Structure formats: C-alpha cells, structure tokens
Amino acid sequence: MIALSPSSLPLTTDCNNKTFDVSAVATDTAGDPCKGILISFTFTGSNAETDVTGSFTPASDTTDPTGLATSTLTISTTSCESKCLPSGANCTGFMKATSGSVESDSRFIEDQINP
C-alpha cells in the first residue's frame, strides 16, 4: 500500500512559486513499512484544458527505514497563469505515487484562486 500526503494541494492567491512538499509511505499487507522501495511521483490529470502541469523534484525517491519517500511538486507558473487566473477559470489537477503496479489514491490540486 502507498499512502500519499497531503490530502489536497490548494492553489491560492496567485501562481508564483507554487511548491508543495509531498510524501508517500509504503507499507506491506501487515502494515509494516517497506524499506528500499522506489516510489515515483506523477500527475494523473486527464483534462488538458484545465489541468495544471509541473514537475516533481526528485521525480522518484527510495523509501527509508520507515517506508517514507519525499518529493517537492512545483506547479508550472505558465500553466497556472493560463488555466487558473483568467476570470471564471477553474483549474484542476491530480497527482499520485506509484511503485510497480501499486499506486496511491490520487490527490486533488484544488483551485482556490477563483473560488
């Protein structure tokens, strides 16, 4: 199992320097942490008209002894400005963490710029 945090990523105020620390915890079926598992962080959006883009640094991370892998998501300023800032715009986006065929639930990138 892979648990991804935070539960949602709110875009607020403007599109400058929108970064979010994200983490994933990998556990086995007994709930014990999985050490040494490569976790990849990706976008899962499906709507090119409204989904923001960005990058994860690093794009993948190996879990530590507690099963934790971390990354920083940076939302593209250009993408945010074109999809979130126009009056009446409602941008969207989703991300997830995966390792092989195991994946987390998707996390929502929430537009709070134009509520």
**pLDDT computed for residue 47 by the predictor:** 85
pLDDT at 98: 95
Neighbours of 74 (CB within 10 A): 14
112 vs 115: CA distance, rounded Å: 5
Domain residues for the domain of 78 are: 2-100
For residues 89 and 68, the model is more confident at 68
Residue 27 falls inside a structural domain: yes
Residue with tokens 């997830």: 96
Q: Domains in the chain: how many in total?
A: 1
What pLDDT, in 10s, does the model give residues 30-62?
Answer: 999 999 999 999 988 778 888 988 999 999 999
User: Which segments of the chain does DSSP mark as H helices, in order?
Assistant: 77-84
Would 114 be classed as within a structural domain?
no
Residue 54 lies in a domain: yes
Structure tokens at 65: 């002894």
Instruction: Look at residue 106 and tell me if it is in a domain.
Output: no
- CATH code, domain with 12: 2.60.40
Rounded average pLDDT over 55-78: 95
Query: Which pLDDT does position 115 carry in this prediction?
Result: 61
Sequence-ordered list of residues with C-beta below 8 angstroms from that of 32, at least 6 positions apart, any chain: none
